[in-house]
Structure formats: structure tokens, C-alpha cells
Chains A and B, each alone.
Chain A
């Protein structure tokens, strides 16, 4: 009964909440608009936005030195999670069956496991940094910890269900993933998408001012 609920209605409900919630957040961001810039632009904003979007993937040298650990852990976590989410064989099969109708090449098992390892290393280090660093500890809210905790639990239950022999383990993983989907649009996890807006906005402003930021 609970299994059918998790596998069926709750999955569709959480997916709908995720899609509609993300669209709603996009809508509110775009609807907020921009303050009119009355100054004569020195250069185009679009070029600055694009430049800022991609150059910020590589941090400035001084930031990279002081925050080396968070930089490395951040890349480990995000790359590992991306590989897990979109290229792990069970996930590819799930998407093909439930959403896309077609599949794509998946990672070999060993690469899947390495992705999980590096994602866990990155996530644990980042979470510890958030808890121990005096500044991030003060800046972090319950939302940050709930988001991190949910992502961690989804990853953990996924790894516990790796044998794919026990239906309750798969359902537990799916249930937590559904909770994450419902929570996602209304939390700081939205930075998955909104980083494009923030970088683009800053880059466009700087671009118009002729500042190479």
C-alpha cells in the first residue's frame, strides 16, 4: 500500500511540485525586473553576463588559495552528484521508464561507485565546513541544513540500496528523493538554477560599466 503510494501518486505529485515550483521561482525572479540603468553603457551587458557566467567557475587566485578546501570539496561534490544523478545505470533506467522514454549511455559500475565516493567526500567536508567555520556557521540557516541533510540522506539510502535486492530500500530511497523534489523549489537548493541568473545579472551590470569583474 505504502509502496504503491511512493511508486505512483507521490512520485507524480512530487515531480509536479518540483516543476511548477521551479517555474514559479523563475517567474518571480524575472517578474522582479531590473532597475533602470540611466548611465551610458561602456560595453554590452550580454557579453559581460556570459563572461561572468563561465569565468566564475574558476575562482580568483587569492580566493582559490584561502578557500582551497571548499573549492576542491565543492567540485568533488557537484561533479560526483551530477554523474550519479544523470549517468548511474539505475537512474538512467528510471528516467527512461518514467520520464523520457529513451535512455542514454550510463557509467560503468566502477565509475558509478567512484562518483558516489567523491560526492560523499565533498558533501561531508562541505557540511563540516558549514558547521565549523565561524562565518558560514553564522550565515547558515535551518534551510541550508535541511537541504544538505536531505541530499545526504538521498545519497546514503541510494548507496544502501545498491544491491537492488530489497524493494523497501529502493522505496525508501525514492521516498526521500520525492521529499527532496518537493522541498527543492522553496529552498536554497534552487541555486542549482539561479546561479545562472545571479552571475548573469552581476556580469551584465559590470559589463555595462566596463568593469572586468
Chain B
């Protein structure tokens, strides 16, 4: 049989060393397979739940209502608590509610603004842009506005990386690069947080007087800022919407700052529960602020013609002021504060002559 199927040399080899080698290989294969099966069986055997004598104890500790604080020689906040059951509640809320719903809200707001723009388009100045201007924001006011804007954008970006990074960025950049990015974001966020405190304080001190509610603000609100009914609703330097945004941002800002300071300086005896609550309130209020600021950026950029000029040049168009801040524009006109576009260009050093503004006007931006 062998002679038929195999050449002579192969048959001879099989009779000798080759046959032996083949047997060894088969044996090895068998042993390895058996070992693997044995290991698998052993794993299956290990997977059989063996009651841990202390498991019931720890489960009992964890499932109690509230934090049970015992006695310990270890000095420190929370050192007497074996398990903080609220930690799991906080973690679940963050992962299952906060992150997904925050994402839906941000994307929803973006879509809403896109939809609004698609339907409404850019709000034009009905009378058209004039060649007359009104001085609206001083140099200092524009500086602190862009100061808080740049700090806020940095904080929002780094905060969003920390909140959504694990879900959104790891699939794109990988764990290693994300860990680097997250560390950088955390350090940057912590460092710029106190800078935001200074910025908000400067904004509050400077703009608070003009944001106190006045007679006529309610009318503006009832007419939806002109959306309900026909014609423009007169308002003062700031309208009801702007004033409400100011106060909302101040109130949200206070919560954001307070919770942020609790998180960034864990030196004052705050417990883990306090930190967890601070984290959640920080995230929720910041999310609200980001949503409001998205609307603010929309109106200031593509949403309304002439709205950004005041914050970039210091001057706004007279027709824009008449249509959106009629009471203020009227008062300015009565006081003779209207300046021509050519005069504004001259003051800003943009005219062909390149005249330098008078010394008194330079620092104030007038």
C-alpha cells in the first residue's frame, strides 16, 4: 500500500526518522490542545461564583441610605466613610443623562439656529445702512467684551473636551492622544477659570447700570422684541432681551464660578458629595451658558446686519440704532451725538489722510 501511494524514499523515511517526527508533532498537538481545553475548563471552573464571605458586608455598606461614617485614625475629609454610595449615582448620571442630553441640546441648538437662519435669513436694517454713526461702546468696553469672549471660548472648548472627549474623541484620535489632550484641557481649564472670574467681574461692574430694567422693557418682551406684531419695538441702550441675557449670564456665572472654585481648590474641607454636586451644577449651568452664548454669537455675526459694528469699531449705524434701540438713538440725536462715517474713519485713522485721532479721543476710542 505504501509503495503504491508514496515514492520509495518517502516510504523509507516514514519507516525511520520522519515517522517518528510526525508522531512527536501529533503528540505535541494533542498535548497542547488538551492543555488549552484544560485551561478553558479550569477557567470555566473558576468562573463559577464562589460566595465571598465579605461580599455581603460590603453590599450592606454600599446599599445603606446615606454615607455611614465610622471612626478612623486617618485624618482627612471622608476618611471615615467606607463607601460613598452617591459616587455611583453621580457616575451614572454623568454617563447616562448628562453627556447624552447635553450633546442633544448643543446639536439641537445648532440645528435650531441653522433652521432660523434658513427661514428668517439675516435681519436687515429696513431703512438701509446710513452714512451716519452713533458712538456705542468705548475702547475699554470692547476690550473687556473680547477679553471675556476669548476666555469663555477657551474654557468652553476645554470643558467640552473633558465632558464629551471619551465618547467622541477616543474613536477618532485614540486613547493615547486623548489622554494627552484631556490632561492639557484640564490644566488649561483650571488655570483660566480664575481669569474668567476677573473678566465677569469687569463686565458686571461696567455694564450693570445699563442693564437695570426700565419702563418699556416689558412692552418689548410682550411683543417678542418685534417678532409678534408689526413694526419695531422701541428700546433703550439695551433691550429687554439683552438685559435678561446679561442677568442670566451673571447668575449662571456666579454658579459656574462658585462650583468651579469648589472643584479646583479642594482644600477647604469639601466632601466628595459636595464635589459631585459642584461638578453637576458646573456642567449644567455651563451648558446653559453655552446655549445662550451660541444665540448671542449668532445674532452678533450672521443673524443681524450691523449688530457687530459697535463691538468692533465702537460705532453703530444710525438706522440700525433707530430700528433696534429707538429711545437711545433718539436721545443721542437730540444731544447731537451723530457723527458722519467719514468722521468715524478719520477718528479711526482709516481715511486716506491717515490723521491720528485727537489725544483725548484715543484712549476712550471715540
Partner-B contacts on A (CB < 8 A): 66-67, 69, 113, 116-117, 120-121, 124-125, 128-129, 132-135, 137-138, 156, 159-163, 165-166, 168-169
Interface flag for B186 (CB, 8 Å): yes
Residues of chain A with a CB closer than 8 A to B187's CB? 159-163
Q: How far is the CB of A81 from chain B (nearest CB, A)?
A: 15
Q: Pick the 10 closest A-B CB pairs, nearest first.
A: A160-B184, A162-B187, A134-B348, A66-B363, A159-B191, A128-B143, A166-B180, A138-B349, A134-B349, A163-B183
Q: Given B146, B147, B180, B349, which contacts A169 in the complex, CB threshold below 8 Å? A: B180
Interface SS, B side: helix
Q: Is B68 an interface residue (CB 8 A)?
A: no
| Contact status of A69 and B140, CB under 8 A, knowing A113-B191, A134-B365, A135-B362 | yes
The distance in angstroms between the C-alpha atoms of A121 and B199, with both chains bound, is 9
Q: A134-B362, A135-B349 are in contact. Are A117 and B191 (CB under 8 A)?
A: yes
Judged by a CB distance under 8 angstroms, whether B163 is at the interface is: no
Interface string of B336-366 (1 = CB under 8 A from A): 0000000000011100001011010011010
B261 within 8 A of A: no
**Contacting pair A132 B143 (CB below 8 A):** yes
> For window 136-185 of chain B, which residues contact chain A by CB distance below 8 Å?
139-140, 142-143, 146-147, 150-151, 179-180, 183-185
Flag whether B128 is at the interface (Cβ < 8 A). Answer: no
- Chain A residue with Cβ nearest B366: A134
Closest to B354 in A: A138
**Contact between A135 and B356, CB atoms less than 8 A apart:** yes
Total interface residues in chain B, CB < 8 Å? 31
Contacts of B362 in A (CB 8 A): 66, 133-135
Interface of chain B residues 178 through 214 with chain A (CB within 8 A): 179-180, 183-188, 191-192, 194-195, 198
The answer for the CA separation of A169 and B365 in the assembled complex, in Å, is 40
Which among A135, A161, A165, A169 has the greatest number of chain B C-beta atoms within 10 A?
Answer: A135
Contact between A161 and B192 (Cβ–Cβ < 8 Å)? no
> From A155, which residue of chain B is reached at the shortest CB distance?
B191
Q: A135 contacts B357, CB within 8 Å?
A: yes
Report yes or no: A169 in contact with B143, Cβ–Cβ below 8 A.
no
What is the CB-to-nearest-CB distance from A73 to chain B, in angstroms, rounded to a whole number?
9
In this complex, which of B183, B192, B357, B359 has the most chain A Cβ atoms within 10 angstroms of its Cβ? B183
Identify the closest chain B residue to A116 (Cβ). Answer: B191
Contact between B147 and A128 (Cβ–Cβ < 8 Å)?
A: yes
**Nearest chain A CB to B226's CB is how many angstroms away?**
30
Q: Which residues of B contact A137 (CB under 8 A)?
A: 349
B188 and A117 within 8 A (CB): no
New contact pairs (4) apart from A66-B362, A159-B191, CB-CB < 8 Å:
A66-B363, A128-B142, A132-B143, A160-B185
When distances are taken between beta carbons in the complex, the residues of chain A under 8 Å from B191 are 113, 116-117, 120, 159, 162
* Nearest-CB residue, chain B, relative to A162: B187
Q: How far is the CA of A117 from the CA of B348 in the complex (A)?
A: 32
B140: which A residues are within 8 A, CB to CB? Answer: 69
- Could you tell me the distance between the alpha carbons of A159 and B185 in the complex, rounded to whole angstroms? 10
Contact A117 B195 (CB under 8 A): yes
Given contacts A138-B349, A166-B180, contact A124 B150 (CB under 8 A): yes
A134 CB to nearest chain B CB (Å) = 5
Choose from A66, A121, A135, A156 the contact partner of B198 (Cβ within 8 Å): A121
Min CB–CB distance A151 → chain B (angstroms): 16
Cβ–Cβ < 8 Å partners of B146 in chain A: 128, 132
> B143 to A120, Cβ gap below 8 A?
no
CA distance A162 to B185 in the complex (A): 11
Interface-centre pick from A128, A129, A161 (highest chain B CB count, 10 A): A128
A169 contacts which chain B residues (CB < 8 A)?
180, 183-184
Q: What is the CA–CA distance of A159 and B363 in the complex, to the nearest angstrom?
A: 32
Chain A residue at minimum C-beta to C-beta distance from B364: A66
Residue from A128, A134, A159, A166 within 8 A of B357 (CB atoms): A134
Instruction: For A125, give its contact among B143, B188, B347, B357 (CB under 8 Å).
Output: B143
Q: What 0/1 pattern do residues 66 to 82 of B give for CB contact below 8 A with A?
A: 00000000000000000
Write the B294-322 contact mask toward A (1 if CB under 8 angstroms, else 0): 00000000000000000000000000000
Query: Which among A116, A117, A134 has the greatest number of chain B C-beta atoms within 10 A?
Result: A134
Q: Can you list 16 residue pairs at the A/B interface with Cβ under 8 Å?
A: A69-B143, A113-B191, A117-B194, A117-B195, A117-B198, A121-B195, A125-B143, A129-B139, A133-B362, A134-B357, A159-B187, A160-B184, A160-B188, A166-B179, A166-B183, A169-B180
A15 and B186 alpha carbons, distance in the complex (Å): 31
Distance between A126 CB and nearest chain B CB, rounded to angstroms: 10
Q: Complex Cα distance A155/B224, Å?
A: 45
In the complex, chain B residues whose CB is within 8 Å of the CB of A125: 143, 147
CB distance from A93 to the nearest CB of B (A): 18
B198 neighbours in A (Cβ, 8 Å): 117, 121
